[in-house]
A and B are shown apart, each in its own frame.
Chain A
Amino acid sequence: MTRNFWSVAFAVAWRVVHNVFTTPALFVPGLLFPLFFFTAFAGGLSRVSSIPGFDFPPGYTAFQFVFVLLQSAAFGGVFTGFGVARDFEYGFARRLMLAAPNRRGLIAGYAIAAIVRWSVTATILTVVALAAGMNIGGGGVDLFALYLLAVLVNITATLWATGVALRIRTMQAGPVMQMPVFLILFFAPVYVPLALLEGWLHAVASVNPTTAFLEAGRGLIAGEPTHVAVAFGAALALGAAFMLWAFRGLKSAERAL
């Protein structure tokens, strides 16, 4: 049973990774968008760090790097969900489901592929950020925790998008996968710390789990960990909830076979 699960997972993961890295139209947007955001935010908005009350010792580049890293992780998962929807639209997923001895392995395979895909994006993004002069205050353990948190966000987003794709089973599901992730990412302290947000956005950001991810990530890169347990707890809870969501989506897809 376990062997069936992993053989399906690795086969699906290999296929998705191969497709993504041999098709520039699939890989390039997922790589370019985080770089655009990083350039625009870290480069164009660096003066924002002069706002009274803005206190982040490593500087605005590191402040924005954490957001873009987590954003790339989340959108890496969403882009993988697009691939699941595409597989259904072209009929490949139907054949895959008939052939797989353990269908839960399909979801695991897409999640593994999402991590591999995002790892490349994260590596390039990190190199660009370091080349742009990003300061890092945290040590090795802090940085490991930061990237681990991003991996959890990546898996959570993959499970969300895969669950949508398994239910709707068409590329038209794209906005349904993308829009909630976009909103939950931006209804958070993206440009300034939570304390400097005002009005309705402050109220929304205060209860948004993305805020915990960002605050923990920024604390880790600064070497002053804060809210780390809350962030990991929220990421694991969301991951578990969306795993259930994806498995139920699989049941829905099985009924449609």
Chain B
Amino acid sequence: MSVLAAQVGQIAQRSVVRTLRQPASAIPPFIFPTALLAVTSAGLTSATRLPGFPSDSFLAFFLAFPFIQGALFATMNAGTDLARDIQTGFLNRLALTPMRGAALIIGHLAGVVTMGFLQACFYLVVGLVAGVTIASGPLGVVVILILATLIAFAFGALGAFFALQTGSGEAVQGLFPLLFVGLFLSSMNLPRELIETDWFRIVATLNPISYLIEAIRSLIIYGWNPQALVLGFGCALLIAALSITASVWAMRRRLTRT
């Protein structure tokens, strides 16, 4: 176990340093979601006048969105970095060492988790500075940070799986539109009960991203809502478990091939 921990630590250190040293991939996850938060919350302020809208601040309602979009960036960054390791032969060289596959994946995701945590702190600060009050209080802030980091880890693992499966950074980048669709076909803009178009409401109800958003949103605007939290944490843990399992399987196949 201590060997595994040491291996994870070494890869994690490399992952964190590499992520923080790449402004081109480290900065957009902070800028883009915040810009979308600003324009959408300002543009849809009047939506709070809709009967049944759960908050009198669209900014507070929409603040959950950047956490999820930031996690999508985590998918891209984790996948692209790992694909680069494959394309440059770094993974092949690692395969000649006693490094375990699981250590490589978990260590690699350390950079993603670090970024996910920093992003979540940033979005929270932006929201608080803009006047949002977190209904669940200081403990709710801690839970938001934990959930946001878990979501970043889950999506990062998904990116790692695609990188290991395809071995191509471009293929991982091509995944972005697909994930973006998942984000847009969710309850990110309106509560599900206020979505008028039937097929859209059904898709949003089946879409796990809706529950990730709603869990964070519940802590911001409602307080403590056990159902939303169970569904949100459940979906995040499920995505993480499936993605890690798939990544370990893909890693075994890739190391066997080499």
Contacts and interface: CB of A to CB of B under 8 A. Distances in A.
Given A44-B185, A48-B47, A51-B49, A187 B200 contact: no
B45 A199 contact: yes
A171 B195 CA distance: 39
B42 A36 contact: no
Contacts of A44: 184-185, 189-190, 195, 197, 200, 204
A197 B189 CA distance: 16
A46 B197 contact: yes
A33 B177 contact: yes
A244 interface: no
B240 to A, nearest CB: 25
Interface in A28-71: 28-29, 32-33, 36-37, 39-40, 43-48, 50-54
Interface string A183-213: 1001101111000111111000000000000
Nearest to A45: B189
A172 B24 contact: yes
Contacts of B36: 186
23 contacts: A25-B170, A36-B177, A37-B184, A40-B185, A40-B189, A44-B197, A44-B204, A46-B196, A48-B44, A48-B190, A52-B49, A183-B39, A186-B36, A186-B40, A189-B43, A191-B43, A191-B44, A192-B43, A197-B46, A198-B42, A198-B45, A201-B39, A201-B45
Interface string A117-150: 0000000000000000000000000000000000
Contacts of B190: 44-45, 47-48
Contacts of B204: 44
A103 to B, nearest CB: 30
Contacts of A175: 28
B185 A39 contact: yes
A contact residues, range: 35 or more
Nearest to B194: A47
Interface of B: 24, 28, 35-36, 39-40, 42-47, 49-50, 170, 174, 177, 180-181, 184-185, 189-190, 194-197, 199-200, 204
Interface string A93-118: 00000000000000000000000000
Given A48-B46, A182-B35, A190-B43, 4 more contacts: A40-B189, A46-B197, A47-B196, A192-B43
Given A25-B174, A44-B200, A190 B39 contact: yes
Contacts of A43: 197, 199-200
B43 A201 contact: yes
A187 B47 CA distance: 17
A241 B204 CA distance: 44
